């Protein structure tokens, strides 16, 4: 994935164009706070791109609209005719464009309203979710609407498709989104997942199929259940087309935040993608893609966020069992990330679907045997869906510094991976940033990603190092992560220490009841005889209380013991520091 010089120059040009557009925000100073500039800049960028794209066919659209006399029931026919006239999946029937708006400054408000109302419903939907009508009122009140339109109609705002390709326009828009995200500081992560993380996820998704895609291309579908601004879908599309320009990816996504949904849909329209596949709504309680199956799922759903709002809908669907999305179980009400995991599993194409999803550490181990989280892990592992889990470096995300993991879920494991789970510790594979953005202090460079993918592809118990970078891979049988929680009872005894029997059965002393965690790989009776009976010869197991549990003790499995320093070494260092301090004090006091 190295970036060549031509790509670098293209990136510079894209950044320069985005910077010029962002400079328009100087006219908003005082009226808007810096973190609010995007509320104007992003929708205005969308409108100007559409305006420039529609310019060559403007008259054709107006003429077609004039000829159409259709009823409301024939709206689809009208939309189809106007889209054919415009040459795009959107259109504008207003006589105004940016240039004509500027020709009548005294009526800028009413004319701009007419201009906005002339857009097709898919663009109106974007503007409504941007809450752009409120921003127009603010700009009118602050007397900056005319100057903002004027600035966007200047050379810095020129975005016609014959000068800027759809792909480059998508990059420019993404750079504007990044600037908007950075202005939020600690809230940036709610809007934007950086490309380095997404690139690793895309490589994990496509790596097993890369050779076939090179040979034959592909026609795939992809879904992001918490799509934010749709950058993950954009990066996955980009990566497939880098592998083979003939590769096609149809994207679908759902987002609950109206503003980021508007950004995502705008991005798809700007790039000429599947904008109709971008849906607004709460994925957990209002699934927009029930019954769909996808080739790829890529997502960074919220973690550590409760699902109280969705509780009724989720519990109702859970009663459907495996006919719904939440059959295996429900996680703690305080953290809904595993619900997103189950949603993704339900939507993976049988026999071939692959999902890369980010989770925090709680999905690995929280919950006792028999609890919702444990049952979800049990389902994922015993169904042989977990292909690999990659621990990422800390301080990689904008809004959190905690440990995070990519779960790679597959409904089409390669033969050598069947019945096994690969764990990859990439926590020490990073490069430090020159400038922190919120909590993001490190990046995954091209070399980092290549080393992680090498470890994934080799599927071995092996450590990998390259300079300061290190990655370690370990492969385990599925049953390794399972255990039986066995209740061990100690009977009530008489004064002589003999068990008191009732109806021939010992009576358990509730104060002495205990449990043993016994790996599935071990014989329970043998374990009891070796580890319990020698220390409590009257103990017995109540096997009616057995519970099966699953956990993935990632940190423990990769723990490296560091022996403590010898006391004489510590004392010698202490003496040296004391002597150094004494010399410094003498120097300061002039002795």
Instruction: Average pLDDT across each block of 10 residues of the chain; the chain has 591 residues. List them in order.
Output: 46 80 92 90 93 95 87 74 93 96 96 96 94 95 96 91 83 80 50 82 96 94 94 92 94 93 88 91 97 97 92 97 96 95 98 96 95 97 98 87 94 97 97 84 95 98 96 98 96 88 88 94 95 93 96 93 76 79 70 61
At residue 4, the pLDDT reads: 43
- For the record, the structure tokens of 5 come out as 């010089």
Nearest CA-CA partner of 341 in 320, 364, 359, 361 = 359
Q: Which residue has the tokens 């080739």?
A: 295
> Cβ(339)–Cβ(331) under 8 Å?
yes
Contact 55, 200 (CB under 8 A): no
Helix (H, G, I), strand (E, B) or coil at 406: strand
Question: Given this model, what pLDDT does residue 182 score?
Answer: 65
CA atoms within 13 A on the CB side of 204: 32
Residues with Cβ within 8 Å of 154's Cβ and at least 6 positions away in sequence, in order, are none
pLDDT at 562: 73
Q: How many CB atoms lie within 10 A of CB 27?
A: 17
DSSP calls for 139-171: HHHTT-HHHHHHHHTSGGG---TTTS-HHHHHH
Q: What is the pLDDT of residue 518?
A: 96
How remote is the C-alpha of 298 from its chain's centroid?
Answer: 7
Per DSSP, the residues of 524-569 read HHHHHHHHTGGG-TT-EEEEEEEEEEE---HHHHT----PPPPHHH
d(CA 243, CA 391): 26
Query: What are the residue ranges spanned by the domains of the chain?
Result: 5-178, 184-419, 481-554
pLDDT of residue 7: 47
For residues 136 and 271, give the distance between their C-alpha atoms in angstroms, rounded to a whole number: 25
Q: Name the DSSP letter for residue 357.
A: E
Quote the CA–CA distance of 555 and 55 in Å, as a whole number.
Answer: 58
- What pTM, to 2 d.p., does this model score? 0.87
Give the residues across from 548 on adjacent strands: 484
For 272, 276, 398, the CA distances from 254, given in Å and listed in that order, are: 18, 11, 22
For strands 501-502 and 440-443, give the pairing. Answer: unpaired
How far apart (Å, rounded) are the C-alpha atoms in residues 364 and 243? 33
What phi, psi does 550 have (nearest 5°)?
-135, 135
Question: For 184-419, which CATH class?
Answer: alpha beta
């Amino acid at each position: 994935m190295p970036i060549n010089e031509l790509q670098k120059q293209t990136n510079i040009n894209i950044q320069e164009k985005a910077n010029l557009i962002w400079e328009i925000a100087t006219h908003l100073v005082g009226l808007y706070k810096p973190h609010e500039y995007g509320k104007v800049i992003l929708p205005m960028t969308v409108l100007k791109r559409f305006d420039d794209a529609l310019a060559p066919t403007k008259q054709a659209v107006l003429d077609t609209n004039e000829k159409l006399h259709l009823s409301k029931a024939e709206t689809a026919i009208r939309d189809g005719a106007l889209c054919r006239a415009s040459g795009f999946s959107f259109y504008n029937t207003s006589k105004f464009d940016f240039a004509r708006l500027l020709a009548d400054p005294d009526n800028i408000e009413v004319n701009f309203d007419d201009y906005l109302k002339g857009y097709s419903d898919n663009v109106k939907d974007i503007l409504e979710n941007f809450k752009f009508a409120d921003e127009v009122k603010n700009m009118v009140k602050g007397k900056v609407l005319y100057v903002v339109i004027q600035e966007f109609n200047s050379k810095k705002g020129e975005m016609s498709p014959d000068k800027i390709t759809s792909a480059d326009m998508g990059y420019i828009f993404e750079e504007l989104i990044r600037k908007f995200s950075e202005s939020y500081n600690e809230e940036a992560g709610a809007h934007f997942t950086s490309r380095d993380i997404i690139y690793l996820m895309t490589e994990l998704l496509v790596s097993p199929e890369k050779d076939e895609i090179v040979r034959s291309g592909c026609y795939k579908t992809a879904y992001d259940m918490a799509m934010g601004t749709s950058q993950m879908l954009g990066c996955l599309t980009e990566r497939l087309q880098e592998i083979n320009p003939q590769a096609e990816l149809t994207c679908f996504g759902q987002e609950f935040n109206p503003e980021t949904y508007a950004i995502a849909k705008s991005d798809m329209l700007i790039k000429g993608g599947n904008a109709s596949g971008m849906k607004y709504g709460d994925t957990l309680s209002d699934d927009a893609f029930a019954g769909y199956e996808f080739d790829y799922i890529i997502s960074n759903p919220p973690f550590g966020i409760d699902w109280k709002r969705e509780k009724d809908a989720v519990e109702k669907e859970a009663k459907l069992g495996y006919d719904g999305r939440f059959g295996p179980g429900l996680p703690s009400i305080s953290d809904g990330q595993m619900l997103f995991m189950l949603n993704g599993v339900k939507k993976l194409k049988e026999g071939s679907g692959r999902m890369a999803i980010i989770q925090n550490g709680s999905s690995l181990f929280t919950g006792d045997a028999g609890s919702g989280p444990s049952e979800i892990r049990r389902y994922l592992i015993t169904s042989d869906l977990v292909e690999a889990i990659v621990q990422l470096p800390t301080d990689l995300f904008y809004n959190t510094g905690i440990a995070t993991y990519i779960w790679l879920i597959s409904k089409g494991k390669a033969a050598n991976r069947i019945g096994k789970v690969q764990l990859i510790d990439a926590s020490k594979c990073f490069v430090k940033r020159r400038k922190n953005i919120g909590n993001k202090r490190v990046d995954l460079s091209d070399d980092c990603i290549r080393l992680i993918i090498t470890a994934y592809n080799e599927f071995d118990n092996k450590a990998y190092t390259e300079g300061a970078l290190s990655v370690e891979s370990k492969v385990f049988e599925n049953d390794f992560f399972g255990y039986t929680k066995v209740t061990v009872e100690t009977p009530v005894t008489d004064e002589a220490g003999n068990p008191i029997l009732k109806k021939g059965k010992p009576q358990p002393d509730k104060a002495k009841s205990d449990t043993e965690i016994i790996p599935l790989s071990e014989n329970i009776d043998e374990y009891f005889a070796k580890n319990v009976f020698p220390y409590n010869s009257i103990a017995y197991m109540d096997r009616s209380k057995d519970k099966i549990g699953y956990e993935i003790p990632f940190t423990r499995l990769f723990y490296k013991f560091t022996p403590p320093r010898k006391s004489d070494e510590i004392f010698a260092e202490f003496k040296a520091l004391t002597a150094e301090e004494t010399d410094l004090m003498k120097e300061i006091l002039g002795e």
